[in-house]
Amino acid sequence: MPLISIMEKPDESKSRSGFAAVKRVFGYGILICFIFLFFAFLCICFSIRSSVKEISAKAVRQYPGDRIEALVTYVDSENHSLKQRNRAVWALDQIGDERALPLLEKSRTGRPCDHSSRLCQREVGKAIKLCKGSLNATAWLPR
């Protein structure tokens, strides 16, 4: 009897179904990763929103009125530490309101950051860009 008839041909349908299973598992893995990343993005956005509200509320308690004006006054006041004022600059850049631009542009020195004596220049520059309308990934959240 010839050898070829004794040997069975490999079953191609089994290898194809194995490949389909791998594709299916890989596809679900990618989908799960995207869902996880989306929820992580949402958590970060809501955390940022919460921090902005907290900083704004602190400024409004000390300088009643509109929160943008309160934050601007807070940043401009020497009665607060640089760390607190830098957080207020960060809140202004997250809000992205152009009413903050005069103070921010006045605060920009063009020199390197010196966190012991001046507002963070990197943060001020970022705030200016965002207040002028640059892309802000969390701008869709109500603040």
Residue 107 contacts residue 71 (beta carbons within 8 Å): no
Residue-level pLDDT, tens digit, the chain, 143 residues: 555 555 555 555 555 666 777 778 888 889 999 999 999 988 888 888 889 999 999 999 999 989 999 999 999 998 999 999 999 999 998 888 889 999 999 988 888 888 888 898 999 998 898 888 777 766 655 55
Q: How far apart are CA 41 and CA 93, in angstroms?
A: 19
Residue 91 contacts residue 56 (beta carbons within 8 Å): yes
Q: How far apart are CA 96 and CA 90, in angstroms?
A: 10
Amino acid at 54: E
Amino acid at 86: N
Q: Smallest Cα–Cα separation from 125: which of 110, 140, 143, 142?
A: 110
Long-range Cβ pairs for the range 114-119 (8 Å, 24+)? 115/82, 115/86, 116/82, 117/82, 118/82, 119/75, 119/82, 119/85, 119/86, 119/89
Q: How far apart are CA 40 and CA 47, in angstroms?
A: 11
- pTM of the full structure: 0.72
Cα 28 from chain centre: 26
